[in-house]
Amino acid sequence: MAPLESYAPRVALVTGAGQGIGRAIALRLASEGIDLALNDIPRNAEVLDELAKELREKGRRVVPLIADVSVEEDVKAMVEKTVEELGELNVMIANAGIAHVAPVVETTVEAWERVFAVNVRGTMLCYKYAAAQMIKQGHGGRIIGASSVMGKKGCPMVSAYCSSKFAVRGLTQSLACELAQHNITVNAYAPGVILTAMTNNPRDLDKGEGKHGDSTKSLLGLPPSAPDAEPEVIASIVSYLVKPETYFITGQAISVDGGVYMS
């Protein structure tokens, strides 16, 4: 099969698209002519609708999908709905995630399991149903997950989050091996300190309070002067990875962190 001829990024599904990195990815892919299925949880239904409206005004076909990525039936239905409404699925961005901040000795099983349910099971389900659809279509594809600098090195106070982001790398590498024969690449981005609600104040995501990025920097043992960036830097690597010319890049967790992992 000739990878450059068989694959084209026409339709993408982005999870956790209502805010932060997911929203930046959706805006960027739409600006490149890709039609979109946009997912988030009920809390973000309104912002998701507004984003969908904005992108439709720019000429894109957009389907908002309220669903919980940790629920298998939800993910299955999301992929089905995407194909029903937009005709196919070429790009899956498994971006949705949550954090939990506590020392290990205070981490409850419930908190641990919720982080793993969303970040690991959710990513696995998105990979699973996207892969099945892409294999069925037979034109290759792109699957991209969300790891983290905390998925590459240990970090105090975020053992569940950190471990879940290591797991995303394991999943990404494993699926990359399985899907190479189908011209489907599987990669992840590994952000450093990106200025979103999550890094604003991971202690209280709902409130999104705190000084931009500072709490994440202190968790990573970095000074306030350490590099940080807007979510568009992640959108930019995603934009590259979905291009047909990147068919030979797979199984990678690409650090986009201003050198934080290296330092």
Q: Whose Cβ is closer to ligand ADP: residue 179's or residue 260's? A: 260
Give the separation between CA 104 and CA 109, rounded to whole angstroms: 10
Q: Whose Cβ is closer to ligand ADP: residue 133's or residue 200's? A: 200
> Is position 16 an interface residue for ligand ADP (rule: CB under 6 A)?
yes
Quick one: which of 77, 83, 111, 197 contacts ligand ADP (CB under 6 A)? 197
Give the separation between CA 70 and CA 94, rounded to whole angstroms: 11
Q: Whose Cβ is closer to ligand ADP: residue 9's or residue 22's? A: 22
Give the separation between CA 34 and CA 60, rounded to whole angstroms: 7
Q: Whose Cβ is closer to ligand ADP: residue 62's or residue 118's? A: 118
Quick one: which of 26, 51, 63, 198 contacts ligand ADP (CB under 6 A)? 198
Residue 7 zone, left/alpha/beta (φ > 0; ψ -120 to 50; rest): beta
Binding flags for ligand ADP, 229-258, as an x/- string (CB under 6 A): ------------------------------
Residues 41-70 binding ligand ADP (CB under 6 A) are 41, 44, 68-70
> Is position 18 an interface residue for ligand ADP (rule: CB under 6 A)?
yes
**3-state SS class at 208:** coil
Annotated catalytic residue within 127, 129, 165, 217: 165
Quick one: which of 96, 149, 175, 176 contacts ligand ADP (CB under 6 A)? 96
> Is position 29 an interface residue for ligand ADP (rule: CB under 6 A)?
no
Contact, 25 vs 238, CB < 8 A? Answer: yes
Give the separation between CA 22 and CA 66, rounded to whole angstroms: 14
Q: Whose Cβ is closer to ligand ADP: residue 115's or residue 179's? A: 115
> Is position 21 an interface residue for ligand ADP (rule: CB under 6 A)?
yes
State the residue number with the nearest CB to ligand ADP.
Answer: 20
Residue position matching structure tokens 């009920």: 42
Q: Listing from the earlier edge strand, what are the strands of the sheet with 141-146?
A: 62-66, 35-40, 11-14, 91-94, 141-146, 184-191, 253-256
Q: Whose Cβ is closer to ligand ADP: residue 178's or residue 204's? A: 204
> Is position 8 an interface residue for ligand ADP (rule: CB under 6 A)?
no
Contact, 102 vs 155, CB < 8 A? Answer: no
The CA-atom distances, in angstroms, between 174 and each of 32, 250, 252, 258 are: 29, 10, 11, 27
Residue 44: exposed, middle, or buried by beta-carbon count in 10 A (0-12, 13-18, 19+)? buried
Residue position matching structure tokens 């790398």: 169
Q: How far is the CB of 1 from ligand ADP (least distance, A)?
A: 33
- Strand bridging mode 253-256 / 35-40: unpaired
> Is position 215 an interface residue for ligand ADP (rule: CB under 6 A)?
no
Which are the catalytic amino acids? 161, 165
Binding site for ligand ADP (CB under 6 A): 15-16, 18-22, 39-41, 44, 68-70, 96-98, 118, 122, 194, 196-199, 205
